[in-house]
C-alpha cells in the first residue's frame, strides 16, 4: 500500500501570499480608479454636473407680462387685462390624449371647439411644450380639478391675464381684438415668445402688437423630486407692454353710433389742427370679446352669414365713389392750375353734352339748370355743369395729378393695418380694373366723383380736414401718447409734418366760402338751420341706379339699390376743431340722410347735446365680457389701471377649493 504524500507548508504559504498580493493589487487598482472617477466628477467636471443638478432642482418658468392697456383721450379704459385661469397639458407626461380629454370632460365642461383646438395645437406642437386645453376656467371647474389633480400628471391650472373690451362693439373696428396664438404666429414671434397665449389680430391691437405685448421674463422655481414647486429662488422681471392713449373721445363715439340709428355705413371725425381721430365707426359692428378666447362655430357662422358684413371694416377697406364731395377739391384744382379764376362763370342749362355730340347728355341736379355759376356757387348749389367743363378743360392727366396731390389714390397712413389706396379714375386704372379703353365721357363722370372712383371714409375725412386747416394735409392717427408703465409719464407720439396742398391761401379761402354757403343758403341749409355755431360742408351722393330710377323714392327701393349718401363738413367755420365725413349705405341722398347725422355729431361735440339713444350705448350695456369664472369679476375704469403692469406671476394661484355704379344722372 503506497504512502500518502506529506503537505508542503512553505509552498502553501507562498501560494497564499501570491493570491493575497494579487487581491490587494486588484483592490488598490479599484480604489484608485474610484478615486480618479470621483476626482473627475468633483473637480474636473464639477461645473457641468452642478449645472445638471441645478437644472433638475431649479426650473425656469416664463413670466408673461401684462399687455398694455388702451385709453381714450379722457382716460376711459377701452381695452384692459383681467385675471383668469386656464388648463394646460404637457403632452409628454399626460399620456393618451383621448383618454385624458374624456376623463377631464367629466370634471370640466369642454366644448367641441376646445377639443378641436387642443388636438390641432398638440399635433402641431412639441411634446415638452404645454398645450392649452381650455381658457377661462370657472371657480367650480378649478375646485373640481384640484380635488382630482393627482389623477392627471402633466395637467396644470395656470393663471394668466386675459383681454377684455368693456365697450364691446363700440370700438370693435378701431381697437380690434386679440386672439389665441397659432403655429403660424409662433413662427413669426420666435421660440422666445412661445409662452404667449394671445396676439393682436386686428385694429390697434395688431398695429401696435410689439409695443403692447411687452417682453417675457423668467422666474427660477425650486422643485421637489415630484416636480412640485417649493419656492422661488430668482427672477428676471418681465417688461410690461406700453399703454396707449388715443385721440378718440368715447362719448363722441357713442354719439356717432346713435346718430346713425338703424342705418349702416361709416363715419370719421378728425381734429383738423392735429390729425387726431376724434371718433370713427363702421356699422354694423360686432363684439370683439367673442374672439379673445376663441369664437364658437355658431357665433362665427352668424357673423359670416350676416349680409351686412359686421366684420368688414368700412373705414379702411370700404371704397365708395365720393360723389359731389370731391367738388371742393376739383374746384381748387381748377383755381391752382390756372384753368379757372374765382370769378369765372359757366352757364348751367340743366343738361351738358360733349362738343359735337347730340345724343347722351349729363344732367344737373336742377332740371332747369342753375344759370351762370362761379366757383363758390358751384359748391353750395352743387352745379355739375361747372365741373363737367372744368375737367375737360384741365385734361385727364392734369386732373389726376391734382387729385394725387390732394391725397386721393394713396393711403392716409393711419395706424391701422390693411388700409387700401383707393382709385383715381384714369386711362390706366380703367384698363386695369375694367379692361376697357378711356373715353372723354369718363372724365365728365370723374369730375363729379362718379364712375371708377373709389375712396375710403378716411380719405374723405382727411380731405375735409385739409380744407378746414387752410390747405395743410396731416396724417390721420389714433394714438396720441404712450407710456412704458402705470407710473410712467405719457409721452407724445411724434407725427410727420403736414404737407401744404396749395400755395394760394386765397384759393383755399374761396373753397371754404363755398362750403360755408352750402350750410347757410345751399344744399344743406335746411339741415343746419338754427344751429348755435357756423359750419361748412358739402353734400354728396354716389349713385347705384340708372336714370330710369331717378324719379323713384329711394326708400321704396331695396337697400342695395339705393344711393350712398355722403356728407363732409367742419365746425366752427371760423376756427375749426372738428371735421367729419359720413357715408351711409343705401341712405338715398346726402342732404337728406348724411347731413343730419353730421349735425348730430357736431351738436354732441360742440354743445354736449347727445343724440337720442346714446344713453343705451353706455358702459353698463356694452360691458359683456366673454370670459367666465373669476375673470368676469375684473374691475374697470381707474381701479383697474394697475393691472396694466401686472404679470401672470402676480395672479394668485388657485386654492384647493376655489357694385360698379351707373353714373348717367349724377346728383349732389
- Crossing angle for the helix pair 327-336 and 505-520, to the nearest 10 degrees: 150
Cα 394 to Cα 399: distance, rounded to the nearest angstrom: 6
Strand 77-89 with 472-473, pairing: unpaired
State how far the Cα of 524 lies from the Cα of 527, in Å rounded to an integer. 5
Angle at CA of residue 375, ends 371 and 378, nearest 5°: 50
Residue labelled with grid coordinates 361747372: 386
Considering the candidates 69, 247, 266, 324, report the single residue annotated as catalytic.
324
CA 525, chain centre distance (Å): 37
Cell digits for 393? 378743360
Pairing of strands 178-180, 198-200: antiparallel
Cell numbers describing residue 243: 399703454
Beta strands in 491-587 (DSSP E): 491-492, 499-500, 536-542, 564-571, 578-585
DSSP string over 570-618: EESSSS--EEEEEEEET---IIIIIHHHHHHHHIIIII--PPTTGGGGS
Active site residue 247: no
Pairing state of beta strands 229-236 and 472-473? unpaired
| 153 Rama class: left (phi>0) / alpha (psi -120 to 50) / beta | beta
Cell of 613: 339713444
Class of residue 129 by CB neighbours under 10 A (exposed 0-12, middle 13-18, buried 19+): middle
Using CA atoms, how far apart are residues 273 and 484, in angstroms rounded to an integer? 27
Q: Which residues are catalytic?
A: 324
Amino acid at each position: 500500500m503506497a504512502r500518502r504524500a506529506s503537505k508542503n507548508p512553505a509552498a502553501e504559504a507562498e501560494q497564499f501570499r501570491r493570491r493575497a498580493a494579487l487581491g490587494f493589487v486588484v483592490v488598490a487598482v479599484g480604489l484608485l480608479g474610484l478615486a480618479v472617477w470621483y476626482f473627475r466628477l468633483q473637480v474636473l467636471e464639477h461645473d457641468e454636473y452642478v449645472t445638471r443638478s441645478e437644472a433638475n432642482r431649479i426650473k425656469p418658468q416664463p413670466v408673461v407680462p401684462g399687455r398694455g392697456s388702451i385709453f381714450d383721450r379722457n382716460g376711459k379704459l377701452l381695452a384692459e387685462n383681467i385675471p383668469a385661469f386656464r388648463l394646460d397639458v404637457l403632452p409628454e407626461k399626460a399620456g393618451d390624449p383621448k383618454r385624458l380629454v374624456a376623463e377631464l370632460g367629466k370634471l370640466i365642461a369642454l366644448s367641441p371647439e376646445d377639443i378641436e383646438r387642443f388636438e390641432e395645437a398638440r399635433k402641431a406642437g412639441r411634446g415638452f411644450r404645454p398645450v392649452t386645453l381650455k381658457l377661462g376656467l370657472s371657480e367650480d371647474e378649478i375646485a373640481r380639478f384640484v380635488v382630482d389633480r393627482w389623477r392627471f400628471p402633466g395637467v396644470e391650472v395656470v393663471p394668466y391675464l386675459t383681454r377684455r373690451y368693456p365697450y364691446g362693439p363700440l370700438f370693435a373696428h378701431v381697437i380690434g381684438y386679440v386672439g389665441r396664438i397659432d403655429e403660424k404666429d409662433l413662427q413669426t414671434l420666435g421660440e422666445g415668445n412661445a409662452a404667449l397665449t394671445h396676439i393682436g389680430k386686428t385694429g390697434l391691437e395688431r398695429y401696435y402688437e410689439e409695443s403692447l405685448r411687452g417682453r417675457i421674463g423668467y422666474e427660477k422655481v425650486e422643485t421637489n423630486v415630484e416636480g412640485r414647486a417649493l419656492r422661488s429662488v430668482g427672477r428676471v422681471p418681465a417688461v410690461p407692454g406700453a399703454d396707449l392713449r388715443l385721440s378718440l373721445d368715447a362719448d363722441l363715439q357713442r354719439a356717432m353710433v346713435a346718430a346713425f340709428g338703424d342705418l349702416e355705413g361709416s363715419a370719421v371725425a378728425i381734429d383738423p389742427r392735429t390729425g387726431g381721430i376724434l371718433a370713427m365707426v363702421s356699422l354694423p359692428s360686432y363684439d370683439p370679446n367673442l374672439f379673445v378666447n376663441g369664437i364658437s362655430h355658431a357665433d362665427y357662422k352668424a357673423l359670416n352669414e350676416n349680409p351686412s358684413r359686421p366684420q368688414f371694416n368700412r373705414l379702411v377697406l370700404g371704397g365708395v365713389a365720393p360723389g359731389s364731395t370731391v367738388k371742393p377739391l376739383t374746384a381748387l384744382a381748377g383755381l391752382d392750375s390756372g384753368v379757372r379764376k374765382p370769378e369765372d362763370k359757366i352757364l348751367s342749362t340743366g343738361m351738358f353734352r360733349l362738343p359735337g355730340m347730340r345724343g347722351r347728355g349729363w344732367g344737373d341736379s336742377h332740371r332747369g339748370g342753375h344759370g351762370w355759376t362761379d366757383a363758390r356757387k358751384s359748391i353750395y348749389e352743387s352745379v355739375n355743369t361747372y365741373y363737367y367743363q372744368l375737367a375737360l378743360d384741365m385734361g385727364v392727366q392734369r386732373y389726376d395729378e391734382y387729385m394725387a396731390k390732394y391725397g386721393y389714390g394713396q393711403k392716409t397712413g393711419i395706424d391701422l393695418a390693411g388700409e387700401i389706396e383707393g382709385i383715381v379714375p384714369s386711362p390706366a386704372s380703367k384698363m386695369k380694373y375694367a379692361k376697357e379703353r378711356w373715353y372723354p365721357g369718363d372724365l365728365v363722370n370723374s369730375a363729379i366723383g362718379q364712375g371708377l372712383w373709389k375712396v375710403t371714409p378716411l380719405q374723405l375725412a382727411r380731405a375735409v380736414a385739409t380744407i378746414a386747416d387752410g390747405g395743410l394735409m396731416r396724417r390721420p392717427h389714433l394714438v396720441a401718447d404712450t407710456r412704458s408703465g402705470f407710473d410712467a409719464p405719457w409721452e407724445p407720439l411724434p407725427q410727420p409734418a403736414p404737407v401744404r396742398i396749395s400755395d394760394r391761401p386765397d384759393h383755399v379761402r374761396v373753397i371754404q366760402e363755398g362750403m360755408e354757403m352750402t350750410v347757410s343758403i345751399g344744399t344743406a341749409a335746411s339741415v343746419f338751420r338754427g344751429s348755435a355755431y357756423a359750419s361748412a360742408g358739402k353734400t354728396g351722393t354716389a349713385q347705384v341706379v340708372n336714370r330710369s330710377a331717378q324719379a323713384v323714392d329711394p326708400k321704396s327701393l331695396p337697400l342695395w339699390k339705393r344711393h350712398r349718401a355722403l356728407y363732409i363738413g367742419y365746425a366752427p367755420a371760423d376756427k375749426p376743431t372738428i371735421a367729419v365725413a359720413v357715408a351711409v349705405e343705401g341712405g338715398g341722398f346726402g342732404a337728406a340722410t348724411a347731413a343730419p347725422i353730421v349735425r348730430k355729431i357736431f351738436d354732441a361735440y360742440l354743445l354736449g347735446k347727445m343724440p337720442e339713444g346714446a344713453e343705451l350705448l353706455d358702459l353698463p350695456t356694452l360691458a359683456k365680457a366673454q370670459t367666465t369664472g373669476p375673470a368676469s369679476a375684473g374691475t374697470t375704469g381707474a381701479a383697474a389701471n394697475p393691472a396694466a403692469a401686472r404679470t401672470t406671476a402676480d395672479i394668485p394661484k388657485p386654492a384647493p377649493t376655489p357694385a360698379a355704379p351707373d353714373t348717367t344722372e349724377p346728383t349732389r
